[in-house]
């Protein structure tokens, strides 16, 4: 039959498109991608309530990456929907799934939706002034990959904004549970704007201390006083947008997940400046 | 009452979100932004058929930029929807409208949707590997602005893809009609992938001829043999995706509007390469 790849957008199940909702109605199986889905009203339980006659399956990352063939086999004889928060092509994993479906001769249809990549326009920062997107990983002890700062600086120097997507840790096992092979998982962790800004500032500070980098850092002039914009729960009812210096955002409380950060270009255009004022109060 | 800014997505009216559709149902006035809306099934007539009891108004660019206060006045006492193809924050004009509503104390709500900025992921090219978006304007005689090529080259050198949005000309007047103040407009024009590629290649060729630029051009190594991807009607039923060298895409027939072009990074990742093969047949 068919596999529907359905983007859910960013808010609730009612942010699916009308055509996407029809696809879900038609389906016998609903696979909910659990890796990026953290909204309560986009949970497996919520889906089961909404669709009591359908089989609802939580698809964690391992399943999507390694055990997706079972799902694709089902899609040969049934209507199967794979539900993704945001847009279906937001993650490499889903591009891979698309290719695998094609290889196996399974018909596949895409239902696009908004994702943070375009919804970030709601800050008033113009989408055509964004450079490459970066991801900020949780630092862990001495594990401090810093290439995201290089990309932020590249964009900044080119007069562009940078959208930074923040790390999510779900289904993590403690070392002890891993060794004992106990299927006990740590509570999910979501990087906050505060943590992201903290990590950016600590990398900048480290570099400043290394003498041979001082000149480079001065040229970029990205400092704790540079402008950024923190966002939380974009597209949800309790969305928060807040402009401030990196130093200010380090302490501003954005509430629960998900958060993202934009490191602003050195200069704002007129309309962007008006939005900054609107969202600085 | 309220102004709803409703993103329509890229396909048909059924690509609005379920919440967006409810907003339209609630509204007394529907303003359809005509500047970027070129789909037949997203026309004023189609909306009038679907919503026979509502007042449907075509909002051209002039109206949105200068005469939007009437619409906002209406939104003080009625439920008004302003319908935009793609996402509401895709254009500076709408950011401006948002600010104006805030100034006038009009309540405003956003309904996000997909736009070419994120739906371009459907090509298999990874969104985090895109640099700054560019717009390619129609060359007109000696009017040949070429800064878009500089941005493409910047992205290319950084190992990034470039999404190029192509010019749309609607409600254009001939010089004669303008002088005589006759409200007669030329048929709308949409830049094709072929025209866009033609313009890119002609700029590269011009630069190659200027001796002092030869070295720079050689460093970038963007040539007629470089890889690109043309797309047409993304998100619609008859969507076309086609990879090829710039030279090849210059002649490939993508059918009717809307078209966009991606100038690929010098190297593709493994999954991207699989998509290239899929969409080169």
Domain boundaries, chain B: 2-114, 117-280
CA distance A95 to chain B (A): 6
B160 CB neighbours in chain A (<8 A) are: 132
Q: Show the low-confidence residues of chain B (pLDDT under 70).
A: 35-40, 209-220
Q: What does the pLDDT read at residue A36? A: 60
Q: Among residues A108, A66, A116, which one has the least CA distance to residue A91?
A: A116
Residue A68 has pLDDT above 80, yes or no: yes
Beta bridge partners, A5, equal: A82, A110
pLDDT over 90 at A64, yes or no: no
Q: Which residue has the higher pLDDT, A266 or A177?
A: A266
Q: Is B10 annotated as a binding residue?
A: yes
Q: How far apart are CA B87 and CA A235, in angstroms?
A: 12
Contact A99 B271 (CB under 8 A): yes
Whole-angstrom CA distances from B251 to A115, B198, B244, B257 are 33, 9, 10, 16
- A231 contacts on B by Cβ (under 8 Å): none
Is B206 labeled as ligand-binding?
Answer: no
Write down the residue that tokens 């407009």 correspond to. B185
Give burial (CB, 10 Å; 0-12/13-18/19+) of B236: middle
- Determine, for residues A14 and B11 on separate chains, whether the beta-carbon distance falls below 8 Å: no
Query: B44: how many CB neighbours lie within 10 A of its CB?
Result: 16
Contact yes or no for A99 and B11 at CB 8 A? no
Residue in this structure with the two tokens 């694709």, named with its chain if needed: A72
> Which residue do the tokens 């950011």 mark?
B95
Give whole-number Cα distances, A21 to A25, A190, A270, B65, in Å. Answer: 6, 29, 39, 35
pLDDT of residue A217: 47
CA–CA dist A110, A5 (Å, integer): 5
Tell me which of 3.40.980.10, 1.10.3720.10, 3.40.50.300, 3.30.950.10 is the CATH number of domain A117-280.
3.30.950.10
Cβ of A271 within 8 Å of Cβ of B96? The answer is yes
Please give the pLDDT value at position B35: 65
**Which residue in chain A is spatially nearest to B5 when comparing CA positions?**
A122
CA dihedral sign of residues A11, A13, A17, A20: positive
Q: When comparing pLDDT for A221 and A22, which is higher?
A: A22
Tell me phi and psi for residue A243, to 5 degrees.
-90, 150
In chain A, what residues touch B235 (CB-CB under 8 Å)?
112
ipTM of the complex: 0.92
Looking at the partner chain, which of A15, A110, A132 has a beta carbon nearest the beta carbon of B128?
A132
Across residues A190-212, what is the average pLDDT?
Answer: 88
Contact A271 B95 (CB under 8 A): yes
Q: Name residue A260's beta-bridge partners.
A: A165, A231
Short-list B7, B256, B272, B247, CA closest to B120:
B272
Helix (H) or strand (E) holding A243: strand A240-245
CATH 2.50.20.10, domain B2-114, yes or no? no
Distance of alpha carbon A57 from the chain centroid: 22
Residue in chain B lying closest to A135 (CA): B128
Q: Which residue of B has its CA nearest to A163?
A: B128
Residue corresponding to tokens 């439920």:
B79
> Which residues face A135 on adjacent strands?
A165
Interval A1-56: pLDDT, tens: 999 999 999 988 999 999 999 999 999 999 998 766 566 677 888 899 999 999 99
A128 or A41, which is more confident: A128
Query: What pLDDT score was predicted for residue A269?
Result: 97
Q: Do B99 and A10 touch (CB under 8 A)?
A: no
Q: How many CB atoms lie within 10 A of CB A208?
A: 14
pLDDT higher than 60, residue A100: yes
Burial of residue A86, with CB atoms counted within 10 A of its CB: 0-12 exposed, 13-18 middle, 19 or more buried: buried
Q: Give per-residue burial for B199-218: e unless 16+ CB within 10 Å, then b.
A: bbbebbeebeeeeeeeeebe
Instruction: Report pLDDT for B183.
Output: 81
Residue closest to A197 by CA, chosen among A122, A119, A264: A264
* pLDDT score at A220: 54
**What local confidence, expressed as pLDDT, does residue B38 receive?**
62
**B246 three-state secondary structure:** helix
Other CB atoms within 10 Å distance of the CB of residue B53: 5
pLDDT given for residue A219 in this prediction? 57
Interchain proximity B127–A16, CB inside 8 Å: no
Count CB-CB contacts under 10 A for residue A158: 18
Chain segment B57-104, per-residue pLDDT in tens: 988 777 777 778 899 999 999 999 999 999 999 888 899 999 999 999
Residues near B126 by beta carbon (within 8 Å), at least 6 away in sequence: A92, A95, B269, B271, B272
* Cβ pair B92:A271 closer than 8 A: yes
| Min distance A90 CA to chain B CA atoms (Å) | 7
Residue A62 has pLDDT above 80, yes or no: no
Say what percent of chain A tops pLDDT 70: 93
Residue A78: closest CA among A113, A50, A106, A116:
A106
Residues of A in contact with B278 (CB under 8 A): 99, 102
Binding-site annotation, residues of A for S-adenosyl-L-methionine: 10, 87, 90, 115-116, 166, 234, 259
Chain A residues lying within 8 Å of B158, measured CB to CB: 132, 154
Give the contacts of B28 (CB within 8 A, at least 6 positions apart).
Answer: B54, B55, B78, B79, B80
Contact A242, A279 (CB under 8 A): yes
Stated as kind and residue range, the H or E segment containing A18 is helix A18-26
- Nearest of A187, A162, A190, A172 to residue A258 by alpha carbon: A190
If DSSP codes are grouped into helix, strand and coil, which group holds residue B4?
Answer: strand
Alpha carbon B188 to its chain centroid, in Å, reads 14
Q: Specify the DSSP class assigned to residue A85.
A: S
Q: Inter-chain contact A18–B19, Cβ cutoff 8 Å?
A: no
Instruction: Assess whether pLDDT exceeds 70 at residue A94.
Output: yes
- The reported pTM is 0.93
A8: closest chain B residue by CA: B17
């Amino acid at each position: 039959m068919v596999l529907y790849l359905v983007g859910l957008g960013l808010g609730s199940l009612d942010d699916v498109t009308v055509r996407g909702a029809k696809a879900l109605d038609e389906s016998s199986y609903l696979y909910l991608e659990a890796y990026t889905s953290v909204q309560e009203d986009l949970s497996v339980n919520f889906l089961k309530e909404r669709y009591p006659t359908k089989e609802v399956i939580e698809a964690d990352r391992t399943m999507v990456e390694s055990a997706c063939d079972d799902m694709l086999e089902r899609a040969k004889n049934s209507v199967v929907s794979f539900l993704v928060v945001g847009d279906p092509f937001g993650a490499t994993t889903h591009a891979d799934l698309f290719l695998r479906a094609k290889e196996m001769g399974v018909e596949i249809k895409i239902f696009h939706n908004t994702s943070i990549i375009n919804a970030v326009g709601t800050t008033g920062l113009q989408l055509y002034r964004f450079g490459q997107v970066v991801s900020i990983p949780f630092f862990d002890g001495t594990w401090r990959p810093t290439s995201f700062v290089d990309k932020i600086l590249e964009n900044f120097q080119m007069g562009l904004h940078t959208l930074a997507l923040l790390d999510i840790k779900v289904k993590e096992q403690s070392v002890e549970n891993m060794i004992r092979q106990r299927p006990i998982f740590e509570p999910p962790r979501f990087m906050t704007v505060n943590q992201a800004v903290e990590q950016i500032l600590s990398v900048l500070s480290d570099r400043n201390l290394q003498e041979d980098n001082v000149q480079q850092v001065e040229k970029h002039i990205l400092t704790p006083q540079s402008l950024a914009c923190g966002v939380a729960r974009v597209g949800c009812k309790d969305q928060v947008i807040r402009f401030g210096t990196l130093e200010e955002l380090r302490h501003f409380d954005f509430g629960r997940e998900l958060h993202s950060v934009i490191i602003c270009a050195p200069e704002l255009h007129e309309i962007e400046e008006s939005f900054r004022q609107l969202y600085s109060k």
